[in-house]
Structures are given as structure tokens and as C-alpha cells.
Chains A and B, each alone.
Chain A
Amino acid sequence: MVAADDRVSARTRIVLADVVRRESDSEHPRIEHPRTELAEQTRVGEALVRGLVRAQLSLALRLWLVVAVGLGGLPWLFAIAPSVGRITVLGVHLPWVLLGGLSFPFLVLVGWAYVRLAERNEQDFTDLIQRPER
């Protein structure tokens, strides 16, 4: 991140700085930006942010779906197919193995995948913003 900062291109850097500054200005109104530039660039900046939010949300929802099916489906499965609940693994009934033991590593695994993928989304976004202008 620090290394990436060094090769910031002037134009895109202003996009975000302007949006952020506009927010702090809303408390102390002070209109002195070059308007045409700002209007155009804010739209671009906003579209980029929308893209990032959408990417992160869809990632979160997809992983949430994995958990909803993987864990949330269990009570329903045990209810419609009671025989599944009677299967034993090393003398322990399957529901106990799944809920009391395996569900926790499963949750950690999903969380780990999310952290990796979310950071990749953010890296992509940063790269896009800081891509040198041609």
C-alpha cells in the first residue's frame, strides 16, 4: 500500500480527495473547487465506489449463502430425513459431530475465504484508482 502510494497519478488522486473533502465541507460550507472538474470527476468516483460496494456485497452474500445452505439446511434435513440423524461416526451421532465439532472449522474456513477475497477486491479497486494515466 505504501509503495503504491508513491506512484499515485495526479488526476485520479484528486477524484477521491475531492469527494472526501466535499464531505467535510458539508459541515462548513466553502465552495471553491473548480466546479466543472469536480462534477465530472465525482460522477466517475461515485461509479467506482458503487462498483466496489457491489463487489463486496455480492461476495458477502455469496459466502452467506454457503453458510445458510451448509449449516442452515441442517435442522430441515434432520426434520425431513430423521434417519440421517441416526448415522453414527465413531460411535457419535452425526448431528453431534456436525454441530458440536465440524461447524466451527467450517465457519472459520468461510471467514478466511472472505477475508482473502475481500482484500483482493480492495486491491483491485486501489489498482484501478491509482493506475497511471496514459
Chain B
Amino acid sequence: MGNGYVAPAIVAVTLITVGIGFYGLRLARTTSDFLVASRAVSPTWNAAAIGGEYLSAASFLGIAGLILKHGVDVLWYPVGFAAGYLALLLFVAAPLRRSGAFTLPDFCELRLGSRRLRTLATAFVIFIGWLYLVPQLQGAGLTMATLTGSPYPLGALLVAAVVTANVALGGMRAITFVQAFQYWLKLTALAVPAIFLVLQWQADARPAVTPVEGPTFRTATTVVVEHPATLTLPDGQLRQVRPGDELTFAAGQPVPAVTGVAIDPADWLLPSTEADDQGLFTTYSLILATFLGTMGLPHVLARFYTNPDGAAARRTTLVVLALVGAFYLLPTVYGALGRIYTPHLLLTGETDAVVLLLPGAALGTGTTGRLLAALVAAGAFAAFLSTSSGLLTSVAGVISTDVLGRGSVRGFRLATVLAGSVPTVFALNVSGLEVSQVVGLAFAVAASSFCPLLVLGIWWRGLTARGAAVGVLAGGGAAAAAVLVTVLGPPLAGWPATLLAQPAAWTVPLAFTVMVAVSTATRRHVPTDVGATMLRLHAPEALR
């Protein structure tokens, strides 16, 4: 791809991020500086920062790719990602802020006073953090490969190195301003090209998104296959293709059906029906995972501490909900227009690249098209940098305090390198998985471990340390096992595959049930200071 604007745009975003990080390093050296600085920030800025950290590669690239491929059923991803903040608002935001906990392990120790539970929570923070980092690096590798033609591992390694160095040297973590900037950059980078794309679609006499005969190639296209697949040609013939095969299509020719992709317009356009109860299970499982998983993501929670009090935490969450919701209106536009302008992605399987390629494909290689493509690329890089920095900071923080012992700066740097290298190794080996699928699994683990712990810990006096630990092990352990089987295990089919690929619908109830049952059985061990803790969690600060 000879787009001369892309590389400078990516370099600029990276330099600005690293640059503000270093500048911020001089300004904010200690945790207390960080807190004092953050507390001068209004809920709107704070919310933009949370949004900036939250909107990851999965949101920026993955959702549009999924919509292109699967259609209406995956609209639940953006809805769930946004609704997660509503769950956070309803059940967690204000009490968690009032608890004074900075991380999930802190909350465990504060509420239940158990060191062992703290260790368990630490293990889950690290697991979820790593699981969530993998798709970020994957997205980076994909973006670099798509835009510059470099090999996939190079992009992943490059972003991993930049982020690890940046976090280890102290950049990023303290700076609300950078994260807020990243939110607005990401929103602009999707919104501005989207306006041009819709105008172009109008100018092209509004071609149907779902023509009756299925998607067709608008221009003569040569497709290089990247994943093995079985194609069903228009005349009904089956054809096996292998990576590296080149297929040439004339303008106006229909896109052949690919296994696992909704080519049939009705499949894509309409929700799955009663006959497809596995599809329905998957949908509900996904809703549950995203709705309840957001509150358990390590990097989301840390930001809540920067609110001055519980009421501000609530207002911040509401603004986050609005900001994130506004952002999620956009990927649908890309996914739908991708059916018209980039149908070849359905064949290559690289549907995650639709956001990156659509501006060029629809608007041509003129200056406008190239500038917009560069803007999208910059936004994508902002997404990797902000989310992975936030995640890496959280994981490294937990490793340095809870695994390596009380954290010195050197310990934190060692922890950062450790925390950054493991997901990098994984990212290099799982390039075949969809970005959003891996993210969905991270949400499922968070929803089945930390969500019950937080919700019951905040609202139920009867929770005991033992109940919490056994519940986290049962629910979170089952979800984590499902993830490992899905990612590393042999391919499965039918119900076992469905139950493991979207485990939340059974692991979340399992975690809640076990937690309540074991806590009830060990009710003699309810912390004696539970009344005081409840007062602290729920009473307005003015009464303290």
C-alpha cells in the first residue's frame, strides 16, 4: 500500500504519547502527585480518560470486522461493552470509590481482610490483564501488516516494545490528559472518515448494503487467501483454498460463500431465530460477559480512584457511558459499508482490517482517501497504545507490589518487562483468532471472578473470605479453563464448542451460587467489622 501519510501519522501519535509521558514523568513522580493532580480534574475529563483507556483495538477494529462478517447478531458486542458501564454505575462505582481501594486485590483485603484471597485476586488480575493484552498486540500486528506490508510479528513486537518501555520509564500512567486526548483522537479518527464514507455512498447512488444476490465485487479484484477455507462458488461448486492462493474476480461478480461467514443477506441482516438455540445461547452469554465483565477489568477500576468522592465517581461513570455509547455508533457504519466496498475481506478472513481499508477502498487513492486512511491508522494506534499502557500499568503494579514484594521503582520496571513479555509471546502465536473473540473471553473471565466478588462484597454482609475464594476459583477457574481450551486446545464442534467459546452464561451463575453457598456455610467467619465497612462503602462522604 503506497500511502505516504500513514507512517507519519502513526509515528506522530506514538511520539506525542511517549513525549507527553516523559514530560509527565518530570511533573508527576509519586503516586500522591498523581492523585492530587487527578483530583483537580473534572468528571468530564476523567470520563474521557476512562473512555480513552477503555476503547481498545477490539472496539476500534474488531467490532466493525465482526459486523462485516456476522451481521446483526454481533451488534451485541458494542451494546454490551457500553452496558458494562451501566452495571458498573448501578452496582459498583460509588461504593468502590468510597472503599478507597486502588486495585481489586486492595478491595479484597479491605473488605474481607484475607491475605490469601488477595493473592488469588492478584493471580486473576494478571491472567485477565494478559488475556486482554494479547488482542491489543494482535491488532497492532494486523494494522502494521495491512498498512505497510510488514510481517505480522513486527507490528506486534514494535507496539509491545514501545508500550513496555513507555510504562517502565514512567510515562502514561499518571497522565489523565493523555488518555483523554486518546479518546477524542479515536472518536475523530472514526467519525470524520465515516462522514466522508456516507457521503461517498450517497454519491454512488446508495448501493444496497444487502443486495438480493449477496455481496458482489464493485471493481476487478485479486484476492490473496490468508486462511484455509472452503468456498462455495455461484454455480454450487465447492473449492478448497489454501493460504497464498490467488483468486481473481471481475467487477460485478458475486462473492463466493465462505464457511463461517454470513454471506447470505438474510443471515447477515436478521437476528438468529428459534431454530438456532446455540446462536441464542451465544448471544445471551456474550451479553452477560460484557455487561458484568467491565467492572472486573483491572485497568478500568484503577481509574475510579482518581474521583474525589463517591458521587463524582457516579457522575464520571455516567459521562463515560455517554462517551463510549457515542463512539459505538460508528463501527456499525464501517461494518455495513464494508459489505459494499471491501467484500474481498470476507474471503481473506482479515475482516478486522475493514476499518483500515474502507477509506481507501471507497474514496479512492486521491489525497482525501489517503489522508482519511492515515487518520484511521493514527486512531488505531492510539487505541493500542492507550489500552495496552493502561493494562500493562495495572498488571505491572500488581506484580511489583504483590508478587515481587513492596514496590521500588526498579521493581516496578522489572515487573513491567515481565508483564509485557508474556502476552507478546502469546500474541505471536495466536494470529488466527479474531481480536474480538479473545477480548470476549477476557470479559467472560472477569465477569465470572471479580463481578460476583465486587457485587456480593459491596451489597451482602454475609460474604466470607472463604466463600469469595471458592467462588472465584469455581467461576473464574471454569471460565479460564474454557478460555485455555478454546485458544490452545483442539477444535471442537456443536454444544461443547459453544459452551466453551462463550462460557459466561454458565460460569457467572456458578460463581455467584458457589460464593453464596460457601459463605452461608462459613457464616461464623463473617468479618467482625462488616458494619463499619458497609458504612464506609455506602454513606456519603459528608457524614464521615
Chain A interface residues toward B at CB < 8 A: 1-2, 4-5, 16, 19-20, 22-23, 26, 42, 45-46, 49-50, 52-53, 56-57, 60, 63-64, 67, 71-72, 75-76, 78-80, 82, 85-86, 93, 95-96, 99-101, 103-105, 107-108, 110-112, 114-115, 118-119, 122, 125-126, 129-130
- Using CB atoms, name the residue of chain B closest to A46: B531
B179-187, B238-246, B266-274, B411-419 - the one binding chain A: B266-274
Q: Roughly how many angstroms separate A125 CA and B543 CA in the complex, as a whole number?
A: 10
Would you give 26 A-B contacts (Cβ < 8 Å), ordered by A? Answer: A2-B542, A16-B539, A19-B532, A22-B529, A49-B539, A52-B538, A53-B534, A71-B83, A75-B271, A75-B280, A75-B283, A75-B287, A76-B280, A78-B270, A85-B72, A93-B72, A93-B270, A100-B332, A103-B82, A107-B85, A107-B321, A108-B321, A111-B85, A118-B314, A122-B311, A126-B540
- Using CB atoms, name the residue of chain A closest to B206: A91
Output the least CB separation between A87 and chain B (Å).
Answer: 11
Contact yes or no, A78 B271, CB < 8 A: yes
Q: Roughly how many angstroms separate A93 CA and B187 CA in the complex, as a whole number?
A: 26
Q: A78-B273, A95-B271 are in contact. Are A45 and B535 (CB under 8 A)?
A: yes
Q: Roughly how many angstroms separate A1 CA and B311 CA in the complex, as a whole number?
A: 12
B342 at the interface (CB under 8 A from A): no
Contact yes or no, B271 A23, CB < 8 A: no
- Chain B residues 241 to 279 lying within 8 A of chain A, measured CB to CB, are 269-274, 276
Instruction: Give the size of the chain B interface in residues (CB under 8 angstroms).
Output: 52
Chain B interface residues toward A at CB < 8 A: 72, 75-76, 78-79, 82-83, 85-87, 89-91, 94, 269-274, 276, 280, 283-284, 287, 311, 314-315, 317-318, 321-322, 325-326, 328-329, 332, 459, 528-529, 531-536, 538-540, 542-544
Output the least CB separation between B544 and chain A (Å).
Answer: 6
Question: Which residue of A60, A63, A75 has the most chain B CB atoms within 10 A of its CB atom?
Answer: A75
Contact yes or no, B532 A20, CB < 8 A: yes
Q: A1-B540, A67-B83, A99-B79 are in contact. Are A20 and B311 (CB under 8 A)?
A: no
Q: Roughly how many angstroms separate A82 CA and B270 CA in the complex, as a whole number?
A: 8
Question: Which residue of A71, A108, A114 has the most chain B CB atoms within 10 A of its CB atom?
Answer: A108
Complex contacts, B535 vs chain A, CB 8 Å: 16, 19-20, 23, 45-46, 49
Q: Roughly how many angstroms separate A86 CA and B535 CA in the complex, as a whole number?
A: 51
Contact yes or no, A99 B536, CB < 8 A: no
- Using CB atoms, name the residue of chain A closest to B315: A115
- Using CB atoms, name the residue of chain A closest to B276: A79
Contact yes or no, B284 A75, CB < 8 A: yes
Output the least CB separation between A16 and chain B (Å).
Answer: 5
- Using CB atoms, name the residue of chain A closest to B309: A1
Contact yes or no, A53 B270, CB < 8 A: no
- Using CB atoms, name the residue of chain A closest to B76: A99
The 8 Å CB contact of B328, one of A52, A86, A104, A110, is A104
Is chain A's binding surface mostly helix, strand, loop or mixed? helix
Contact yes or no, B270 A20, CB < 8 A: no
- Using CB atoms, name the residue of chain B closest to A2: B542
Output the least CB separation between A132 and chain B (Å).
Answer: 15
Contact yes or no, B271 A79, CB < 8 A: yes
Q: Roughly how many angstroms separate A75 CA and B73 CA in the complex, as a whole number?
A: 9
Contact yes or no, A114 B538, CB < 8 A: no
Since A20-B544, A79-B276, A96-B332 are in contact, a sample of 5 more A-B pairs with Cβ atoms closer than 8 Å, ordered by chain A residue number, is A19-B532, A46-B531, A53-B534, A75-B283, A118-B94
Q: A82-B273, A85-B270, A93-B269 are in contact. Are A107 and B86 (CB under 8 A)?
A: yes
